[in-house]
Amino acid sequence: MCGVFGIFNHPEAANLTYLGLHALQHRGQESAGIVTSQEGTLHAVRKMGYVADVFDGAFGQLPGRIAVGHVRYTTAGGSLPKNIQPLTAEYRHGSVALGHNGNLVNAEQLREELEHDGAIFSSQSDTEVILQLLARSREPTFVERLCDALGRVQGAYSLVLVTEDKLLAVRDPHGFRPLVLGRLRNHPDCYVVASETCAFDLIEADKVRDIAPGEILVIDHTGLRSVQLRRDNRRFCVFEHVYFARPDSVLDDLPVYEARIAMGEQLAREAPVEADVVVPVPDSGVVAALGFAKASRIPFEMGLIRNHYVGRTFIEPKDSIRHFGVKLKLNPVPSALRGKRVVVVDDSLVRGTTSRKIVKMIRAAGASEVHLRISSPPVISPCYYGIDTPTRSELIAASHTPDEIARYLTADSLAYLSPEGLSKAVRGDSGTTYCDACFSGRYPIRFIPPPGRRQLRLIEA
C-alpha cells in the first residue's frame, strides 16, 4: 500500500512531486520521500509522517529537473526510518533511486541467497533486493541491468526510478498495481508518472496512457522508449477499484467512480431491502451507497459524519489505535437516523471490528433497523501483492457465513455483492482481467513463505 510519482524535465521537479504525493497520500501515510537528480548527484529528503509535514521547508535541498517520490504504508519490512522510500544506492555504475508500490513474493528467498553471497542490506524492505540485483548484474547498460534484476523477482511491482539522467517507470508482467504516464499541459516536453491519475489533475497534467504490464518505460533527453520485460496474464488488482484508489482516478481506463456506482447499483439489485434511508460509511462507502440509493430509489442520507483530521482507522498498524479509532473518526447524526430503517453501505468487510461498532452506533442513535450491505464479496484470503490484509484467521468471512457474521455485527441483515456482480461492475472497455485473490483465494503467483522470521537488528530513533 504505497503511492509513487515521477517527473522528468521540469525546473520545479521537487515541488510538483510534492503536489503529486499530496494527491496520493491516501495510498500511504506512514512516511514520504522525494529524490531529485541534478548534474550526476542525487538529493534526498525522506521522513516519517504526512507529506505536508515531511517536506516543510525542504525544497531548497531538492534541486534538479528529474524527481521521484513515494508515500508508504508498510506491507513488507517494519515501519521504520531506514525503510522509507525512495531507496537510494551508489554502486560502480553510478547512483540510483527507487520507489516501489506492491509486494515481491520471493524477496526473502532472494535476500537469503544474496546475504549468503556476502551482500549487506541497509533496510528490511523487499524493494532493496531489486537494488542489490541491479548492482550485481554484469549487463552493459542500466536498462539491461534492470531487466536482468527484474527477471529474478516475482510479485507485484509498480516502480519509479531515477538515475543521473533518466526517469524510468516499470510495471510487473501481471500489472497488479496501477501506474500511468502523463504530460504537463503547459510543458509538453515534461513527462510525469504516477500511481493514480488524481495526481495529474492537481498538477495540470493529462493522462497519456497506462504503463503496460511488463513494460519498462525509459524517459531521457532523447525522448521515450519502451522495453518489454515479459507479459503474463493481466491481473489488475480489483481491490483498487473496490477500496484503495481515489474515486476521482481512472484505473486502466475505467473511472473508479463509475465502477463503484455500478457496484452499489448491482448490490441493490442482488440484495434489496425495505428501508427508509441509505447511509454510507464515509468515505470508503460513499460512492457505492450513491449507486445503491439510485437503483433502490431509497433516499441517501449522510447519517455518519467523518472527522477528516484523523487518518484511516484501519491503516494505523497497532490494534489498540485501531479500536479507539472508529469513535475518533465517525459520529452518527441522530436526526437522520432516529426511527428509520437504515441500509448501511460499506465497500468491504475485513475483520468486522469497524462494522460492529458502526452498527451499534447507528442503533444507539435511534435507528429501528440496521441492514448492512457490502459492495464487494467476502474477503476470505490475504493479499500477497501489496494490499495490507490481516492473516486468514483474522478475516471474519474466511470462517463464518454471512448469517453468523450478521449476528456478530448485531445487524438485522447482511449481504455482500456477488463475485459475478463485481466482475460486471468493473468490466470497462479495456478488457482488463483482474486479480481477485482476496475474494476467491485464486492466487496468480504463489507466495513463497520466508525461510524464518527476520529479526530486527537495528532500530533507529
By CB under 6 A, tell whether 101 contacts ligand AMP: no
Q: Which is nearer to ligand AMP, 229 or 358 (CB)?
A: 358
Closest contact distance (angstroms) between CB of 383 and ligand AMP is 8
Phi, psi dihedral angles at 66 (to 5 degrees): -125, 140
Q: Specify the stretch interacting with ligand AMP by CB under 6 A; choose among 45-53, 332-340, 382-390, 412-420.
A: 382-390
Residue range at the interface with ligand AMP (CB under 6 A); choices 54-62, 264-272, 342-350, 424-432? 342-350
Q: Report d(CA 195, CA 385) in Å as an integer.
A: 15
The nearest distance, CB 356 to ligand AMP, in angstroms, is 7
| Contact stretch for ligand AMP (CB under 6 A) within 180-188, 341-349, 365-373, 426-434 | 341-349
Q: How far apart are CA 328 and CA 324, in angstroms?
A: 7
Query: Does 183 participate in binding ligand AMP (rule CB under 6 A)?
Result: no
Q: How far is the CB of 137 from ligand AMP (least distance, A)?
A: 34
Judged by CB under 6 A, which stretch of 5-13, 134-142, 182-190, 383-391 contacts ligand AMP?
Answer: 383-391
Asked whether 18 and 35 are in contact (CB, 8 A), the reply is no
Q: Interface with ligand AMP includes 352 (CB under 6 A)?
A: yes
Q: What whole-number distance in Å separates Cα of residue 315 and Cα of residue 1?
A: 10
Smallest gap from Cβ 10 to ligand AMP, in A, equals: 33
Q: Which of 96, 169, 281, 337 binds ligand AMP (CB under 6 A)?
A: 281
DSSP letters for 67-127: EEEEEE--SSS-SSGGG-SSEEEEETTEEEEEEEES-BSSHHHHHHHHHHTT---S---TT
CB-based contact 103:76 (threshold 8 Å): yes
Q: How many binding residues for ligand AMP (CB under 6 A)?
A: 19
In the complex with ligand AMP, the residue whose CB is nearer, 217 or 267, is 267
Cα 327 to Cα 27, 305, 307, 348, 361, distances in angstroms: 22, 11, 10, 19, 9
Nearer to ligand AMP, 270 or 388 (CB): 388
- Least separation, in Å, of the C-beta of 441 and ligand AMP? 17
Q: Which of 83, 348, 375, 381 binds ligand AMP (CB under 6 A)?
A: 348
CB count within 10 Å of CB 215 equals 20
Q: Examine the residue annotation and report whether 383 is marked as an active-site residue of this protein.
A: no
**Residues in region 286-315 near ligand AMP by CB under 6 A:** 312, 314-315
**Which of positions 228-257 make contact with ligand AMP (CB under 6 A)?**
243
Instruction: List the catalytic residue out of 2, 190, 383, 435.
Output: 2
Based on the number of CB atoms within 10 Å of its own CB, is 25 exposed (0-12), middle (13-18) or buried (19 or more)?
Answer: middle
Q: How far is it, in rounded angstroms, from Cα 285 to Cα 281?
A: 5
Q: Please tell me whether residue 361 binds ligand AMP under the rule CB under 6 A.
A: no
Type of residue found at 365:
A
Contacting residue, 75, 132, 154, 284, with ligand AMP by CB under 6 A: 284
Distances (CA, A) of 157 to 48, 53, 100, 211, 442: 22, 27, 6, 12, 19
Phi-psi region of 289 (alpha: psi -120 to 50; beta: other; left: phi over 0): alpha
> What's the rounded Cα separation, in Å, for the pair 101 and 37?
21
Binding region for ligand AMP (CB under 6 A): 243, 281, 284, 312, 314-315, 346-355, 387-389
